[in-house]
């Protein structure tokens, strides 16, 4: 199964390199052309499902792709794919020094907006739900039309990035990235069992004394002395 992730086409604010965020702007003339070109390139890929951010620029991009599908799937809008809320930085130049400094504070919400953790929570929830649904329906190809900030988090979901890689990650307007889907989960959300824990502790000599003290404490609690076990 393949997941196609596309950033929306250009808007007037993209053109002047200002923060777009929650401003619900449509595609400009260039963006319309970019979306049409992307639709033509993807015309030979049948999408079993198409998901879009609720914002005009993303939905228009999805519509452009559908025009070149032989039997297009309906566009499903999911608000979890909406762009990050940049708060007080909305509309400012992306080169603004304060904005660039705040972008490095991954745990801290933008004033009046969201943190990257806030956005990751909803985007990863969407991807987990999409995994469950797709496994039931046996889909082969899925398209998502969304935003640069969301695409960055999706990339990190599949290919964990360093802080520097995350900060500098960038997708061009109507660029497409393809991922094998669903992602193979390694973490099973369970504690180490007794054997795994013992194997780990055997590698830590400093724990030997603690283990001896714990055994002695258990003997005291049970009323059985270590010497009694030798009889």
Residues acting as catalytic residues: 8, 83
Report the b/e string of 13-51 with b at 16+ CB within 10 A. bbeeebbbbebeeebbebbbebbbebbeebeebebebbb
Closest by alpha carbon to 48, among 137, 110, 161, 112? 137
Task: Specify which residues 4 forms β-bridges with.
Answer: 143, 178
Beta-strand (E) ranges in 98-226? 141-146, 176-180
Residue 126's H or E segment, with its range, is: helix 116-137
């Amino acid at each position: 199964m393949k997941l196609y992730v596309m950033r929306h086409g250009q808007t007037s604010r993209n053109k002047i390199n200002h923060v777009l965020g929650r401003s619900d702007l449509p595609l400009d003339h260039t963006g319309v052309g970019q979306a049409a070109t992307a639709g033509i390139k993807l015309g030979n890929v049948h999408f079993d499902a198409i998901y879009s951010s609720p914002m005009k620029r993303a939905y228009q991009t999805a519509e452009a792709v559908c025009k070149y599908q032989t039997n297009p799937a309906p566009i499903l809008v999911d608000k979890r794919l909406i762009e990050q809320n940049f708060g007080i930085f909305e509309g400012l130049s992306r080169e603004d020094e304060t904005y660039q400094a705040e972008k490095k504070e991954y745990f801290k919400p933008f004033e009046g907006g969201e943190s990257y953790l806030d956005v990751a929570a909803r985007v990863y929830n969407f991807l987990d739900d999409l995994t469950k649904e797709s496994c039931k329906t046996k889909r082969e190809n899925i398209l998502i039309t969304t935003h640069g900030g969301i695409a960055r988090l999706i990339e990190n979901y599949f290919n964990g990035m360093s802080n520097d890689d995350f900060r500098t990650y960038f997708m061009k307007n109507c660029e497409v990235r393809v991922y094998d889907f669903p992602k193979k989960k390694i973490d099973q959300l369970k504690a180490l069992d007794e054997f795994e824990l013992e194997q780990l502790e055997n590698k830590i000599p400093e724990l030997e004394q603690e283990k001896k003290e714990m055994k002695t404490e258990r003997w005291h609690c049970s009323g059985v002395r270590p010497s009694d076990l030798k009889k």
